[in-house]
Amino acid sequence: MSEVSIVGAGYVGVVSAACLAERGHNVTVADKSRERISLLIEGKVPFHESGLDDILKRSSSRISFTTNTGTAIEKSDLTFVSVGTPGRKDGVIDLSQVRSTAHEIGRALRSKRKMRHLVVVRSTVVPGTTWYVLRPAIESASGLKVGEGFSLAMQPEFLREGNAINDMLHPDRIVIGECDKQAGDRLQVFYEGFYGDHTPPILRMSSTSAELVKYACNAFLAMKVSFINEIASICERLEGVDVVRVAEAIGLDPRIGAKFLDAGVGFGGSCLPKDVRAIHARAKELGFKSLLLPATLHVNDRQKRRVVEIARHLSRNLRGKRVALLGLSFKPGTDDVREAPSLEIIDHLKRAGANVVAYDPAAIPNARKLLGRRVRFASSARECLHGADVCIVVTEWEEFKALTPEMLKSEMKRPVLVDGRRMYDPERFAGVAYAAIGLGTEQASSHGLH
């Protein structure tokens, strides 16, 4: 078993640490934030991921936490770097944590002369970063050369929030971008040991290719969502056409696949929007003007306006109206509101003069930090609906499935429902004013056909 260190106690770092320790590795996790490290030492997970606290508890004898990166490196022979790479407004990612980590690793390697250390980048970084930013920083701080004094690889992560442990334990593939051959060989052996008979396909390539794989993957997923949302907008203009049926039929074509074809208010979260912007900005730096990447983002922005337009259309005017907004997190099963569609939808509603009351089973504390008093928060879906003129479902939480036309009629001033996530069977809601993303109505017509 290896002595492993992980720099960056974020989502990827802590999930990886817990899974590696559970399978017998000794892991030291380093992070600059004292607050985060103290919480982890107390056995508390600083974010919402079901099952993670149990694994951490079970493997606590093999995990330690520190704010000192140097000590973590010295104790180990394999280091995973999973520090944050936040995106700026223009899409360019901020590499300051990556740079300072590379420098610290280099300094620690200068004094550590045992075995050749293997550094593996897990942070999402734009193509070229491992080779042109991390490698020279480690080399100059350590006085060592890659492939001689230390090994360096880039291995993108594909963890989904809410499913991260399962994704780590049962990955579809492992992508290894190697700066030197030994890095690739060692990492391959490490994962073959970790996954045993269940080792997924391991793909080896250059570090720059591996960096691009991550962005290409997220950009494709985002594009798939924007694609079906674009089709949804066409459906809305045609009588008797429903995007759910259309998606089902096209998804059965194995060349397309059924996943990521749920039309709705758009994609959010800490990865998809940020990564599409970042690879678009990187392409620009490389002298290439992408057409698909900005279009993917535009469709996503338009989708959030569209749901408000539908609400406006159903209630004639939103000024002074009370809107019940169900769902604040960017997807169900998480309290994360980073780039959540709900935030922009609330902005559009406020601009239209509406009063917003919101409810979410998990994300209210995080949403409150960003929204303050702009929104009133309810403590249940029923309370949220009470006295409202229109209800918009923004996140498809399981508990919202329990909504019935009777409940809308008894709680709301007027029973008007905008289904932003296609949660309900339109026929069941036939007795109330119901409209949904991607659902053509009788008012939709044969525009332009003669």
The contact set with ligand UDX (CB under 6 A) reads 157-161, 218, 221, 225, 260-262, 264, 267-269, 271-272, 330-331
Q: Which is nearer to ligand UDX, 167 or 309 (CB)?
A: 167
84, amino acid identity: G
Q: Which is nearer to ligand UDX, 106 or 264 (CB)?
A: 264
Alpha carbon distance 216, 206 (integer Å):
15
Residue 218 CB, nearest distance to ligand UDX (Å)? 6
State in Å, rounded, how far the first CA of the chain is from the last one.
73
Residue 271 CB, nearest distance to ligand UDX (Å)? 3
CB contact at 8 A, 106 and 65: no
CB contact at 8 A, 21 and 59: yes
Parallel/antiparallel/unpaired status of strands 390-393 and 416-419: parallel
Residue 269 CB, nearest distance to ligand UDX (Å)? 3
Residue 334 CB, nearest distance to ligand UDX (Å)? 7
Residues contacting 229, CB < 8 A, separation 6+: 263, 264, 266, 299, 300, 303, 437, 438
The closest alpha carbon to 423, from 263, 267, 307, belongs to 263
Q: Which is nearer to ligand UDX, 161 or 411 (CB)?
A: 161
Alpha carbon distance 290, 296 (integer Å):
11
Residue 224 CB, nearest distance to ligand UDX (Å)? 7
**Residues found in the chain:** 450
Q: Which is nearer to ligand UDX, 333 or 440 (CB)?
A: 333
Alpha carbon distance 30, 244 (integer Å):
46
- The residue annotated as part of the active site, out of 179, 235, 271, 384, is 271
């892991």: which residue's tokens? Answer: 27
CB neighbour class for 255 (10 Å; exposed up to 12, middle 13-18, buried from 19) = exposed
179, amino acid identity: C
Q: Is 179 a catalytic site residue?
A: no
Q: Which is nearer to ligand UDX, 65 or 330 (CB)?
A: 330
Phi-psi category of 88—alpha, beta or left, where left has phi over 0 and alpha has psi -120 to 50? beta
Residue 209 CB, nearest distance to ligand UDX (Å)? 17
- Residues annotated catalytic, as ranges: 271
